[in-house]
Chains A and B, each alone.
Chain A
């Protein structure tokens, strides 16, 4: 296994289900955010759970699956549009084993399982990213794009570069699990 990635214990809050959330992340409307477990939210990330769908009752705004990583300085905000003359924000759903690189802006509607998104990307409003897709660093995905399964997208605007091998699912799963295992508190503070 690779060398562990140490973090300071004072900075991260660990929940019962193994989520690790930095105190330096900005999380608005936490009651509208669901974390699946073993998900890491790095410092400087902004997650907007306050931009919820209007209407009565409880509304989930952002749901993240298991073994996700939200990199440093990421912005996750739900997409908005008017539908039949009413303005609304719409929920964002992210599957399991999704890694999002540092400084990326995500306004997607759906992100599938085993998706890797690079650094400094911009994922436009209502983008749908299917399972096992990969987005290279610095990619700009325009609004309403559908990224098919097992595709590598890169460039500005983001375009299909190549198809990924069928082993991607296992590779990404091993990588995300490995990352979570390596992400541990600094030994000096134990």
Chain B
């Protein structure tokens, strides 16, 4: 593997605290909040985070997935076709969760200390409950509105009740943090500015 080159593109309206560990090629969209002590590692390929996400303390986002067909074809060469880990808009990653999904849609919730493996792709409006382990051995796309909960990682479908309230809460939360965090924390800027 060639050494990982750091390249941080942070939107001017994003709030990224100084005390955050970043590695690799990372793009952070407008209005996204990254709390102190979060970790974002773009090891196998770049990470692109959309707008309005909230990433709390102790969250670990890692892109470590090497596309399986490339790995089979060229086991030792580092292909230039790296897989990008794309995270959509308005997602919330709560305290201490670990997410390795190669793609995440919009408006997902990953609760405290949940762990989502790199074989899983999240669509939109999914909820992963507190301390859930989602580690299937085969690749899987989690359908929209799926809720994974409990110690056995059971599933059901969200009825969409309270969707507007939830969206509103998240929007206000991000707005509040955007105003409040810079008062108490040092912020980090992208390479461009």
Chain B 77-111 against A: per-residue CB contact (8 Å), 1 yes, 0 no?
A: 00000000000000000011000000000000000
Flag if A54 contacts B57 (CB, 8 Å). no
Chain A residues 76 to 107 lying within 8 A of chain B, measured CB to CB, are: 77, 80-82, 86-89, 105
Please tell me which stretch of A43-51, A127-135, A160-168, A175-183 contacts chain B, meaning at least 4 of its Cβ atoms lie within 8 angstroms of it.
Answer: A43-51
Contact of A26 with B by CB under 8 A: yes
Contact of B181 with A by CB under 8 A: yes
Given A122-B113, A122-B131, A26 and B37 contact (CB-CB distance below 8 Å): yes
Task: Give the complex CA separation of A50 and B183 in angstroms.
Answer: 8
Flag if B181 contacts A50 (CB, 8 Å). yes
Which residues from A are CB-within-8-Å of B181? 50
Flag if A28 contacts B131 (CB, 8 Å). no
Contact of A140 with B by CB under 8 A: yes
Interface size class of A (residues with CB under 8 A): 20 to 34
Flag if B57 contacts A46 (CB, 8 Å). yes
Task: Give the complex CA separation of A86 and B179 in angstroms.
Answer: 14
Contacts between the two chains (Cβ within 8 Å), count: 62
Contact of A29 with B by CB under 8 A: yes
Please tell me which stretch of B22-30, B118-126, B166-174 contacts chain A, meaning at least 4 of its Cβ atoms lie within 8 angstroms of it.
Answer: B166-174
Contact of A124 with B by CB under 8 A: yes
Interface size class of B (residues with CB under 8 A): 20 to 34
Contact of A144 with B by CB under 8 A: no
Contact of A75 with B by CB under 8 A: yes
Contact of A156 with B by CB under 8 A: yes
Q: How far is the CB of A86 from chain B (nearest CB, A)?
A: 8
Which residues from B are CB-within-8-Å of A119? none
From DSSP, what is the main secondary structure of chain B's interface residues?
loop
Flag if A140 contacts B176 (CB, 8 Å). no
Flag if B184 contacts A124 (CB, 8 Å). no
Chain A residues 31 to 89 lying within 8 A of chain B, measured CB to CB, are: 46, 48-52, 54, 75, 77, 80-82, 86-89
In the complex formed, the residue of A with least CB distance to B150 is A156
Task: Give the complex CA separation of A58 and B172 in angstroms.
Answer: 22
In the complex formed, the residue of A with least CB distance to B131 is A140
Which residues from B are CB-within-8-Å of A51? 180
Flag if A82 contacts B57 (CB, 8 Å). no
List 20 contacting pairs A-B, 8 Å CB cutoff, sorted by A.
A26-B37, A28-B184, A48-B57, A49-B184, A50-B181, A50-B184, A54-B176, A75-B96, A77-B57, A77-B95, A80-B176, A81-B169, A82-B169, A87-B173, A89-B176, A122-B112, A122-B131, A124-B130, A140-B130, A156-B151
Known: A26-B36, A28-B185, A105-B113. 19 other contacts (CB 8 A): A26-B19, A29-B184, A46-B36, A50-B183, A50-B184, A50-B185, A52-B180, A75-B57, A75-B58, A77-B95, A80-B176, A82-B168, A105-B96, A105-B112, A122-B112, A124-B130, A140-B130, A142-B130, A156-B130
**Residues of A in contact with B (beta carbons under 8 Å apart):** 26, 28-29, 46, 48-52, 54, 75, 77, 80-82, 86-89, 105, 120, 122, 124, 140, 142, 156-157
